[in-house]
Amino acid sequence: MPHPWIADRTLAFDSSGIRKVFDLAGKIKNPINLSIGQPDFDVPIAVQDAMINAIRDGKNNYSVTQGIPELRQGLKEKRGIAGESERDLFICSGTSGGLNLALMSMINEGDEVIFFDPYFVMYPSLVRMAGGVPVPLDCGEGFQIDVGRVEQAITDKTKMIIFNSPSNPTGVVASETQIKELAELAQKHDVALLSDEIYSEFCYDDPFTSPSQFNPQTIVIDGLSKSHAMTGLRVGWVEGPRPLIETMMKLQQYTFVCAPHPAQWGGIAALETGIEGYVAEYREKRDKVIAGLQDLYEIPPSAGAFYLYPKVPWGNSVSFVESAIAKGLLLIPGSIFSRHQTHFRLSYAATDETLDRGIAILRTMAENPE
C-alpha cells in the first residue's frame, strides 16, 4: 500500500529499471559494464576550465531563466535562428528537463502522444505525468519507422509525436526520406512533432538530419550530456515556435529556475570544442562489437548513438540479462524500453578491454543456452 500522502500521478511509473542495474554494478566486483548510457571519456579540458573559471569569477548565482545570453546566441548561430525568426531557443536543465517542460506546456488531460517502440524509458512516464495518454507504436523491420502506420495511429485526440534519431535504445538512424515524410505528416495533421536529438553528434554513416529541416513547427530538444560527456552538468536546450518557447520558459521559472550557471559557461566552450576524434573512436567500437557478435546474434543496423540492440538468442530479455549479470556482465533488458521482451541494450561506450570481455561472455552465452 502506498503512503496516503503520495499523489496518484506517481503511481503511473516505477523507478527506472536502468537505475536498478546501476545499483547492481556497485555490488559486483570488477563488473563488465555495458549498460551505462553515457560516454566513457571525460569532459573536455577546455570545458572544465571554462566552468572552473566561471565558479572562481563568482558566476554561482541564478542565471536568467532562459539561459545566459552568450550561450543562447552561440546556439542560435549554430541552429541558424535569426533575430526576427519565428523560432526561439532557451537553455534548460538537461534534455530530460526540456522534455518535461515541453510535455507540461503542451499536453492536456487525455491528449494522445505517439512515440516509437522501442523508446527512451522516460517517454511514457512523462506523458502520463502531464496527463496525456501514451501511444507506443511498433517500428517496422530493423526498427525503422513506417510513416503509413503513424498516419493510421493519428486520431482526433493526437497532440504530439515524439521522435528520436539516432535512437536510444537501438542506435538506429532514420533515413532522410523517412524523416521528411514524418515531418510533413505531422504538419499535414497539425500535430506537434517533438524531435529528441540528444545523439545528433553521433552519426557514423550519414550526416545527421533533423525533421525541423522539413517542418518549421518542429520542437527540437538537444544538449551537451552525450556529445561532451556532461551528463551530470545538466545543460540542454529547446528550440521551437516562439509562443511555445515562451511558455516553457515561464514554466521553467517555477520549476527548474535555470540550468546550472557555471555549466552554461562551460557550454560556450563546448560549442567551440570538436568531438570528431571521439566519434571516430565510437564508430570503431561499434564495428568491433558487431564483428564479434554478428555470427551469433541478430543485430539491427546501428548507425548512431552508442548502443546496439541485439535479439536474445534464448529465453526473454529479462531472463537473458539476469543470466549475464550473474556472470558479471551488465546489460539492460529490452523490456525497459519496450512492450516486448525480445532484445537487450548494449552500450559500447566502454574501453576496448571491457568490450572484449563482454563479447567473450556473450559468445559463450549464445553457444551454451541455459
CA–CA gap between residue 301 and residue 281 (Å, rounded) = 18
pLDDT in tens, 68-122: 999 999 999 999 987 778 999 999 999 999 999 999 999 999 999 999 999 999 9
Q: Which of 271, 306, 330 is the last residue of a domain?
A: 271
Regarding whether 314 and 361 lie in a shared domain, the answer is yes
Grid coordinates of 111: 491528449
Q: Which of 239, 271, 303 is the last residue of a domain?
A: 271
Does residue 161 carry a pLDDT above 90?
Answer: yes
pLDDT in tens, 19-50: 666 666 667 778 999 998 899 999 999 999 99
Domain annotation covers residue 49: no
Q: Which of 249, 271, 293 is the last residue of a domain?
A: 271
pLDDT band at 18, cuts 50/70/90? low
Domain annotation covers residue 54: no
Regarding whether 214 and 319 lie in a shared domain, the answer is no
Q: Is 354 exposed, middle or buried (0-12, 13-18, 19+ CB in 10 A)?
A: middle
Q: What CATH number does the domain containing 134 carry?
A: 3.40.640.10
Chain centre distance of CA 247:
23
CB atoms within 10 A of CB 52: 13
Q: For residue 154, report the phi and psi dihedrals to the nearest 5 degrees.
A: -75, 130
Regarding whether 282 and 247 lie in a shared domain, the answer is no
Regarding whether 285 and 266 lie in a shared domain, the answer is no
Regarding whether 97 and 24 lie in a shared domain, the answer is no
Regarding whether 322 and 258 lie in a shared domain, the answer is no
Task: Say what percent of the chain tops pLDDT 90.
Answer: 88
Regarding whether 297 and 197 lie in a shared domain, the answer is no
Domain annotation covers residue 50: no
Question: Which residue did the predictor score with more confidence, 100 or 13?
Answer: 100
Regarding whether 168 and 190 lie in a shared domain, the answer is yes
Give me the half-sphere count of Cα atoms (radius 13 Å) on the Cβ side of residue 253: 9
Regarding whether 25 and 67 lie in a shared domain, the answer is no
Specify the number of domains making up the chain.
2
Regarding whether 177 and 124 lie in a shared domain, the answer is yes
Domain annotation covers residue 170: yes
CA–CA gap between residue 53 and residue 67 (Å, rounded) = 18
CB atoms within 10 A of CB 115: 21
Domain annotation covers residue 3: no
Domain annotation covers residue 51: no
Q: Closest Cα partner for 219 from 173, 175, 267, 163?
A: 163
Regarding whether 226 and 87 lie in a shared domain, the answer is yes
Which whole-number Å values give the CA distances from 109 to 101, 156, 252, in the listed order? 15, 14, 20
Strand partners for 336:
none
Grid coordinates of 200: 545528433
Domain annotation covers residue 53: no
Q: Could you tell me the residue range of the domain that residue 359 belongs to?
A: 8-43+275-367
pLDDT band at 15, cuts 50/70/90? low
Domain annotation covers residue 48: no
Grid coordinates of 150: 503513424
Q: What CATH number does the domain containing 23 carry?
A: 3.90.1150.10
Regarding whether 325 and 216 lie in a shared domain, the answer is no
Residue owning grid cell 520558459: 249
